[in-house]
A = this chain, B = another copy of it.
Amino acid sequence: MIRMGIVGYGNLGRGTESAIMQNPDTSLYGIFSRRDPSTVKTVSGANVYNLDDILNHKGNIDVLIICGGSATDLPVQTPYLAEYFNVVDSFDTHAKIPEHFMNVDSAAKKGKNVAMISVGWDPGMFSLNRLYGEVILPEGKDYTFWGKGVSQGHSDAIRRIEGVIDARQYTIPVNSAVESVRKGENPELTTRQKHTRLCYVVAEENADKDRIEKEIVTMPNYFADYDTTVNFISAEEMKRDHSGIPHGGMVIRSGKTGMNKENTHIIEYNLKLDSNPEFTSSVIVAFARAAVRMSKEGISGCKTVFDVPPAYLSPKSAESLRKNLL
């Protein structure tokens, strides 16, 4: 059994707990939290330890799954922990990946561990599909669409507006844009042409809804470049209709082959996810398995999904994979 530890117990931590239980060869050693362990109740009944004591558990853990946020947790936690453990994180600030890689790489090499960063679906499976698409069809173009799904960052941005009690923001791909890409038309698409934003807002009783709506649709970076729809709903409707954390999207590669580029090919990788954190953590657990295997082979340093031979993700033998999946 591969003994896994979880650092941080939010949505992603709980998803990881569940994913570890779904796999035949992985077991959950425990959860490490910054909170007082006696106050943390785990879904599975797993042990909870204080994150400050984590180095005392070194011998009992094959790989740590770090479930913190990309803004402030992971840039500190992953380099620190990679010196002592094999680790996996889901660092998703695309622009800062090279910097994060460098920090984690030197720590992991120092400790002779494998540290797999930016695992999940984007970055993660979508990245893999951008890579596979580009190497197969070098003369082509790729498109990533997200949604329909809840964007946590955009929902939070709305919640910070005065008079807003709760909010949920759905990112939705523009259907005509997707269809044009699928037809191989290789459109040039602006931000506005690719996605729309749909917001559900619970406002305070006497709040000025017109002002709230205007603040949302004009908000720079988050909404100003998009066609945004704002719906005001009650707290009951929010709870009833918008409690889930669905997401998804697609990576489409469109490319040409042939001596005269006469043939068009479309590769589409499409995800429809009921639970964003549970799917993300399911990807993470598979790559955590691979991290342990790579570590046992003497490999160390920072790795990404691009570095993992797919067979390493599976608990099955290479022979069985060839026989049953190839």
Contacts and interface: CB of A to CB of B under 8 A. Distances in A.
Interface of A: 15, 18-19, 21-24, 43-44, 94, 97-98, 101, 118, 123, 125, 127-128, 130-132, 134-139, 182, 257-259, 262-275, 278-279, 282-283, 286, 289, 304-311, 313-314, 318-319, 321-323, 325-326
A135 B265 contact: no
A291 B24 CA distance: 32
A257 B19 CA distance: 7
Contacts of A259: 18, 21, 43-44
Contacts of A21: 259
Contacts of A278: 257-258, 263, 265
Contacts of A309: 306-309
A125 to B, nearest CB: 7
Contacts of A270: 266-270
Contact of A306 (B24, B279, B311): B311
The 8 closest A-B pairs by CB, nearest first: A263-B274, A306-B311, A135-B286, A257-B278, A263-B275, A135-B313, A266-B272, A268-B270
B257 A15 contact: yes
Contacts of A137: 282
Given A139-B22, A265-B273, A274-B264, A279 B304 contact: no
A175 to B, nearest CB: 16
Given A130-B325, A326-B127, A22 B257 contact: yes
Contact of A98 (B130, B136, B279, B319): B319
A313 B128 CA distance: 11
A282 B273 CA distance: 31
Contacts of A131: 310-311, 313-314, 321, 325
8 contacts: A118-B326, A134-B325, A263-B275, A263-B278, A266-B273, A304-B322, A306-B321, A307-B309
Contact of A286 (B136, B139, B182, B279): B136
Given A257-B275, A265-B275, 9 more contacts: A125-B267, A134-B325, A135-B289, A257-B282, A263-B278, A265-B282, A266-B271, A266-B273, A307-B309
A24 B138 CA distance: 9
Contacts of A263: 273-275, 278
B128 A310 contact: yes
A200 to B, nearest CB: 21
Contacts of A23: 138
